[in-house]
Amino acid sequence: MQSQPYSQRPLVDQELKRVYLFAGLNIQQLERVKQSMRHLLLAEGESLFEQGQRAERFFLVREGHIKLLRLSLEGSEKVFEVIAPTQTFAEAIMFMPNSVYPVSAQAIEPSSLLAFENKIFVEILKESSDTCFRLMFHMSRRIRHWINEVDNLTLQNATYRLINYILYHIPSNHQDSYEFNLPIPKQVIASRLSIKPETFSRILNSLCQEGLLTVTGRIIHIHQVEKLRLYGQSALLPNEHYEIVCQDGLLPKK
Amino acid sequence: MQSQPYSQRPLVDQELKRVYLFAGLNIQQLERVKQSMRHLLLAEGESLFEQGQRAERFFLVREGHIKLLRLSLEGSEKVFEVIAPTQTFAEAIMFMPNSVYPVSAQAIEPSSLLAFENKIFVEILKESSDTCFRLMFHMSRRIRHWINEVDNLTLQNATYRLINYILYHIPSNHQDSYEFNLPIPKQVIASRLSIKPETFSRILNSLCQEGLLTVTGRIIHIHQVEKLRLYGQSALLPNEHYEIVCQDGLLPKK
DNA sequence: TCATTGACTTGATTTGAATCAAGGTTGCCT
DNA sequence: AGGCAACCTTGATTCAAATCAAGTCAATGA
């Protein structure tokens, strides 16, 4: 874990201010955050922290992708989340005294991060009710996220989960064809979706055969987005229709 | 949903003060909470709120058990949590403007609850950093709980989940025999563990056959707790040993 | 250039748990 | 008492996804 400036791109205050958690800070507070801030550069596969390790910092991803995972003793891993640029992580446990990271964090590709000291930020939290509310707001969304995750794992099948993952990458207004690059290796996505790589491959293949999309390496070309959305709903079979769970846990409008 | 005093047992302030979230309130604040507080009495099977409904209150269970669930369109349900007396629920979304409940809540048996107005409590949160921290602390634990839940669903099998559920009900110092009553119907536990009732029954049966426990209706008699703990670990097969995840997400000490 | 490695695919087989289909118990209500 | 309805159990069968076992392909590197 090196700690030196990384990207040519200079760190502008704006970058920090765009972070939801920091948006309410005044100049002095922002300055304190910056004081304790460290630049990190991770190589591909490099570990940031391990599950069970004392949690003293939280992080902002600037470039690259970080996976949050747990390992079984044989070495097989389950990816719980993949953190993309502009997102923060590990901030939900900052104020827990003697807390430990509940998962391990590892770079999927060369990545650039900023690390913030929990201790400093907790001091700011104590004096800023507004920032407390921002953090609580954020944590509340995280909880809903995990509830939806359990919902997906228990009520939805692998095909549905994969389709949902794909749809998530498509702007919601798009209807016709759409092409995008998978940001991370297929195996990582598979693990994130709790699917084995072989099954992942087979599902993608069967979606191709249905004529819904074309796969070229990491490039996914969806022929008709609207069709895929409908297919996602029928993938809920064999049990007829399940309730569609939107990202925010709301029911879709009838 | 009636709203009148229920239990003969008088509502003492102590009962409120024992609630973690209220423990830091001063007399005036506690008074305001009590002002907005409502007593609720739910019959067996009665619904408290539905998923997607506007969230304006959070709750404390005094007597009975409440299940938090989501329904599929055919009517099959997945129980996400079962709330027992002295526990609060739905407090994690209180400050979200226009938030909705992410799950439905329903009484498993005749239950007595207290309902608190989010609006009032948010006002208190704004003036009490200490209470903010209590809430954040609580939410942080909830997040870890859900991460462990996903871990259980993806890395552990049904037998392991059931054993873990049983072990959860046994004081950790017990080693030999132990007997307890399942607090709720077996089907509800099954759903909570994402197991079908048939499978649940079969697993319990096979644990009986292994001589680990005896089942008489809702009474579970464990012959040797320590043996069950070990069996729980070998139930992690076929993949040899998995990492044991303690409730707090910590690794067990070597 | 060829070897090696890691990512992905494809096929054959197994398997844990779900589903389907009857039962059995228990307790409640008339 | 008798009938009904939950709740639970048991057995036979099916099925989605995992596992096992070879592959292919592309990128890296000596």
Give contacts of A155 with chain B, Cβ < 8 Å. 70, 72, 78
Q: Is A138 exposed, middle or buried (0-12, 13-18, 19+ CB in 10 A)?
A: middle
pLDDT in tens, B197-250: 999 999 999 999 999 999 999 999 999 999 999 887 765 443 333 333 333 333
Secondary structure E strands in chain B: 38-42, 47-49, 57-63, 66-71, 77-83, 88-89, 104-107, 111-117, 178-181, 213-216, 219-222
Contacts of B145 (CB under 8 A, 6+ apart): none
pLDDT band at residue B71 under the 50/70/90 scheme:
confident
Residue A18 has which token pair?
């765009």
| Crossing angle for the helix pair A118-127 and A129-155, to the nearest 10 degrees | 120
- pLDDT of residue A110 exceeding 50, the answer is yes
Q: Does domain B156-234 have CATH number 1.10.10.10?
A: yes
Q: Is the CB of residue A221 less than 8 Å away from at least one CB of chain B?
A: no
* Ramachandran quadrant class, A25 (left: phi over 0; alpha: psi -120 to 50; beta: rest): beta
Mean pLDDT of A124-151: 96
User: The tokens 């070998």 sit on which residue?
Assistant: B234
Contacts of B159 (CB under 8 A, 6+ apart): B203, B206, B207, B235
- pLDDT of residue A246 exceeding 80, the answer is no
Q: Is the CB of residue A196 less than 8 Å away from at least one CB of chain B?
A: no
Q: DSSP letter at B206?
A: H
Mean pLDDT of B80-96: 95
According to CATH, where is 2.60.120.10 located in chain B? 13-150
* Residue-averaged pLDDT of chain A: 88
- What pLDDT shows up at residue B250? 38
- pLDDT of residue A244 exceeding 50, the answer is no
Give contacts of B150 with chain A, Cβ < 8 Å. 80, 146, 149-150, 153
- pLDDT of residue A239 exceeding 70, the answer is no
| Dihedral of alpha carbons B64, B69, B73, B74, sign | negative
- pLDDT of residue B97 exceeding 80, the answer is yes
Mean pLDDT of A115-119: 96
Residue B171 has which token pair?
């004081």
Residue B186 has which token pair?
């077996």
CA–C1' B201–C23 (A): 15
Contact B239, A76 (CB under 8 A): yes
According to CATH, where is 2.60.120.10 located in chain A? 13-142
- What pLDDT shows up at residue B55? 97
CB contact under 8 A, B73 and A99: no
How many whole angstroms separate alpha carbon A58 and alpha carbon A36?
11
Contact A132, A125 (CB under 8 A): yes
What fold characterizes domain A13-142?
Jelly Rolls (2.60.120)
User: The tokens 């799950």 sit on which residue?
Assistant: B103
How many whole angstroms separate alpha carbon B232 and alpha carbon B69?
27
Q: Is the CB of residue B170 less than 8 Å away from at least one CB of chain A?
A: no
- pLDDT of residue A111 exceeding 50, the answer is yes
According to CATH, where is 1.10.10.10 located in chain B? 156-234
Q: Does domain B13-150 have CATH number 2.60.120.10?
A: yes
